[in-house]
Structure 1
Amino acid sequence: MKSPSKTLIPRHAGLLALALVLALLPLALPNAFYYDVAIRIALNAAVVIGLNLLMGYTGQISLGHAGFYGLGAYASAVLTTHFNWPPLAALAAGAVATGLLALSLARPVLKLKGHTLAMATLGLGIIISIVINNETQWTGGPDGIAVPALALFGAELSGEKSWYALAAAMLLLVTWCALNVIDSPVGRALQAIHGSEIAARVVGVDTTRFKVRVFVLSAVIASVAGSVSAHYIGFITPTLAGFFHSIELVTMVVVGGMASVFGSIVGAALLTILPQLLSTFEGWETVVFGAILMATMIFMPKGLVPSLARRRGRQGN
């Protein structure tokens, strides 16, 4: 077993490397399109990191996480459009409401395991999606709703460079928080639950309390990212909270690497960029996309980052 001091060094080095990449990346982005892709990667990665804390480190499956993302997005849209709330206040209100919803549902839902837990979270996401679709007077229903520009401290955020700075800062903050959670007693308790919930209880870990905490945390992160995304895109539809978006988020976790914070970033980047790269296949992009995912899971079943790290370790021995 590696000592905590030995694991802290690569994780903090990884955080510094991420900060350096995010700082230098604008030098390699030639136009607004590439900035847009980079911003979407950063926002997706923030959500996936939170989801990976729940799935990879705690072993709890969530197939309805896009529902929390959609709640944050629509909270910002509805409160700013219909009630003239300041964007930051709407974002905070959405995060609090999402956190309270997650807290109220966490205990009964997280008592389930395996496929029953997956079905329960799937049902939660479907309910949120149906509500958003049906409340047309507030959400615009299937037609969607326009979202005002994001204003920070009285100044309206505009331009791809400003949005990139915000998305990069958010990704760094979420990464830093996740690494601190993992390196804390809470993180060790979560990994113990993932290994064996019964064994964790035997040694005195309050498994329910820790599972509820990480469930709420991941939901709040998704809500905040949803709010920021809504203001960035400027127009949202219920597909943000749909089942396929939840599956996309889960796929990012699995492809990048379960129980890997930096794997979450790699998975988010890969699955955000691939549809853009495969658009030239004219109708076959979905088939090629599926083949790439199958090959990744066959040859790297632990995900990209853990598998590559393991191979590198073997070569170094």
Structure 2
Amino acid sequence: MLINRNASLLLLTAVVVLLPLGLTNNFYLDVAILAGFNAVVCVGLNLLIGYAGQISLGHAGFFGIGAYASGVLVSTYKWPPVLALLTGALVVGILAFLLAKPILRLKGHYLAMATLGIGIIVSIILRTETKVTGGPDGMMVDPFTLFGFELYGEKVWYWVVGALLILAVWLSLNLIDSPVGRALRAVHGSEVAAEVVGVDTTSYKVMVFVLSAVFASVAGSLFAHYTGLITPAKADFFKSIELVTMVVFGGMASTFGAVVGAVILTLLPQVLTVFQDYQEMVLGAIMMLTMVFMPKGLLPTLEGLLTPRRRA
């Protein structure tokens, strides 16, 4: 990258801290919060796709499980929100671990179809189990309380999501710079070569799949409390495609690229309100144009253009 890891993280922190100065009303804060939630999921998904080279078209399912776990446990069974969030993350982690070993043996479009199947199954369950989830209409979710205080309002939630995003990026950067990160890059480059030098490719692929799923679950749990209403649409196929598009557009194997992609593609529907009915078509066009003209993604491409100038 053009700037080192610590400077990049400091820049992100500065943006999060200073951004509210330019957000003049709650609508802009709400869009920023939604972008933050998407960015957290994309940071985890980028570890799986960008660094380990494993595609997933079902991560919205993990987001939905986390959201409904908090919704059901807190609103129906009156669990403490923090405990419900941790339970949802644990359930998602166990489920991802059980699914990872068989499906990560697949490659290419076979792996894509398998992960797509996971997302579809989750979406169907959320739509049909009306007694638990409220069915297609969704369910109301009680506010998030911490130490007796209720998190309420866009300004409060902005700082919660901003802190969560910084934490997610910090964890991702530290993982990438560790021996685990080097092993993931080796798996992405060539699994056969990685195994020859002693890398347990299966264990690393399972680990990063579980970690990325937990990222999605935590974001889903907090999202449910923030919106106060969750529906199965947040766990369907189009949401998964949207998340993958954000990662690819921002730049695979670029943590900050995933954040940039999530922010831009969250803002895009708000800017192009005229084409709101064609959102899926726009996302498809962005994916196609990105792969043709910026195969490395937006941020890595910009870095590649600026680096020679700096050297000159």
TM range (shorter): over 0.9
CA deviations over 1:248-268 (Å, ceiling 9, x no partner): 000000000000000000000
TM-superposition CA deviations, 1:232-260 (whole Å, max 9, x none): 11101101110000000000000000000
1:179 equivalent in alignment to 2:173: yes
> Which of the residues 76, 83, 89 maps onto 2:83?
89
| Distance of aligned partners of 1:292 and 1:104 in 2 relative to their CA distance in 1, 3 Å threshold | closer
Query: Quick check: 2:40–2:168 contact (8 Å CA) kept in 1?
Result: yes
Q: Is the 8 A contact 2:100 2:206 kept in 1?
A: yes
Amino acid at match of 1:216: V
- Contact 1:275 / 1:289 at 8 angstroms: preserved in 2? no
Aligned sequence identity (%) = 62
SS in 2 for 1:59: coil
Q: Following the alignment from structure 1 to structure 2, what is the Cα–Cα distance between the partners of residues 158 and 206?
A: 45
Q: Secondary structure at the match of 2:233?
A: helix
Shift of 1:295: 3.4
What's the counterpart of residue 251 of structure 1? 245
- In structure 2, C-alpha distance between the alignment counterparts of 1:295 and 1:114, rounded to whole Å: 21
Give the alignment partner of residue 234 of structure 1, picking from 228, 232, 237: 228
Deviations 1:57-92 (A, max 9, x none): 000000000000000000001111211111111111
- Kindly indicate whether residue 97 of structure 2 is the aligned counterpart of residue 110 of structure 1: no
Q: Which moved more, 1:55-64 or 1:125-134?
A: 125-134
Cα distance in 1 for partners of 2:299, 2:147 equals: 38
* Aligned positions of 1:1-317 closer than 5 A: 10-281=4-275, 290-317=284-311
Asked if the contact 2:74–2:141 (Cα under 8 Å) also holds between the matched residues in 1, the reply is: yes
The answer to whether the 8 A contact 2:248-2:287 is kept is no
**What is the deviation of 1:313?**
1.4
Describe the superposition over 1:215-245 as per-residue Cα deviations: whole angstroms up to 9, x where unpaired. 1000001000000011111101101110000
Give me the whole-angstrom Cα distance separating, in 1, the residues matched to 2:117 and 2:276.
Answer: 34
- Structure-1-length-normalised TM-score: 0.95
CA 1:291–1:108: 2 relative to 1, 3 Å? closer
Taking the aligned partners of 1:91 and 1:84, their CA distance within structure 2 comes to 13
Aligned 8 A contact 1:63 1:250 in 2:
yes
Shift of 1:281: 4.8
* Pairwise CA distance, 1:211: 0.7
Partner of 1:3: none
1:29, 1:303 → 2: CA distance? 28
Distance 2:34 2:248 in 1: 19
Q: TM-score, normalised by structure 2?
A: 0.96
Instruction: Label 1:139 to 1:282 Cα distance change in 2 as closer, same or farther (>3 A).
Output: closer
Is the 8 Å Cα contact of residues 80 and 86 (structure 1) preserved in structure 2? yes
Cα pair 2:136 2:231 within 8 Å, conserved: yes
Distance change in 2, residues 1:245/1:282 (3 Å): closer
| Cα distance in 2, alignment partners of residues 292 and 209 from structure 1 | 34
Greater than 6 Å deviation, 4+ residue runs:
none
Which segment drifts farther, 117-126 or 273-282?
Answer: 273-282
Q: Aligned partners of 1:127 and 1:196: how far apart in 2?
A: 31
2:98 and 2:291 mapped to 1: Cα distance? 35
Query: 1:276, 1:87 → 2: CA distance?
Result: 31
Report the secondary structure of 1:148's partner residue: coil
Aligned residues: 311
Amino acid paired to 1:248: E
- Contact residue 145 and residue 235 of structure 1 kept, 8 A: yes
Instruction: Tell me the CA shift for residue 289 of structure 1.
Output: 5.5
Tell me which amino acid in the other structure corresponds to 1:200: A
Contact 1:253 1:264 in 2 (8 A): yes
- For residues 303 and 190 of structure 2, the distance between their equivalents in structure 1, rounded to whole angstroms, comes to 25
